[in-house]
Amino acid sequence: MSERNTFIRSLHDVGLAAWFGGSLMGAVGLNGAARDEGGTETARDRISSSGWAKWTPVNAAAIGAHLFGGGGLLAVNAHRVAAQEGVAASTVAKTAVTAAALAATAYARVLGKKVELASSTDPGDAEKAQKHPIDVHKARRQLAYAQWAVPALTGCLVVLNALHGEQQRPDEQLPGMWQRARSATHFVS
């Protein structure tokens, strides 16, 4: 029961750490600095959009590493998910929260691109913005919520990851599997 899966666990954990930490730093530090230094709303949007755009490829790599590592961990721990009481429920919860974090991240990026386009000084972007007008105030407000939803959701994933770590301890595995087996026999009789 003590197989080592250091590589896939590292991908999973480092990817989640970067996703959580980067989104929290962006919401607090980058957006805060843009507010302090931007002057006008448009200037603040440009500063913030520039920073988020630079973070996007790193964030995508972090999310990819987390998902790849998570899939690998699920594959090597499938027997525990099936046999140990509580592991399937926490895995389902973790999957649902991951999906919500992915959706919030994607939505924040779409809104961020809209705000970026509306605040751009590039003449080509101004032309695009005229073709696809948006309510910038509404987009800013929704973006602020989405940017805070990402660290909240990924923070939940950190907590669920800690729960999975506790469930993997040897003194948790055997009683959990025994309890699952006992509850399965009650349904049969």
Give 147-184 pLDDT, tens digit per residue. Answer: 999 999 999 999 999 998 888 877 655 555 556 556 65
Lowest mean pLDDT among 13-17, 54-58, 116-120, 128-132: 128-132
pLDDT band (50, 70, 90) for residue 102: very high
The per-residue pLDDT for 66 is 98
- Over range 90-116, report the average pLDDT: 96
For residue 68, give the nearest of 2, 1, 16, 4 by alpha carbon: 16
What is the residue range of 44's domain? 6-80+108-188
Decide: 27 and 148 in contact? Cβ < 8 Å. Answer: yes
The per-residue pLDDT for 126 is 67
In a domain, 172, yes or no: yes
Identity at 57, one-letter amino acid code: P
In a domain, 91, yes or no: no
Residue 122 has pLDDT above 60, yes or no: yes
Residue 3 has pLDDT above 80, yes or no: no
- Over range 67-76, report the average pLDDT: 96
CB-CB neighbours of 122 under 10 Å: 10
CA atoms of 144 and 30, how far apart (whole Å):
12
In a domain, 55, yes or no: yes
In a domain, 1, yes or no: no
User: What domain count does the chain have?
Assistant: 1
The per-residue pLDDT for 22 is 98
pLDDT: which is higher, 167 or 34? 34
In a domain, 100, yes or no: no
- Over range 77-92, report the average pLDDT: 90
In a domain, 89, yes or no: no
In a domain, 52, yes or no: yes
In a domain, 164, yes or no: yes
Length of the chain (residues): 189
Identity at 139, one-letter amino acid code: A
How far does Cα 186 stand from its chain's mean position?
Answer: 39
Which residues, 6 or more positions from 142, have their beta carbon under 8 angstroms from its beta carbon?
111
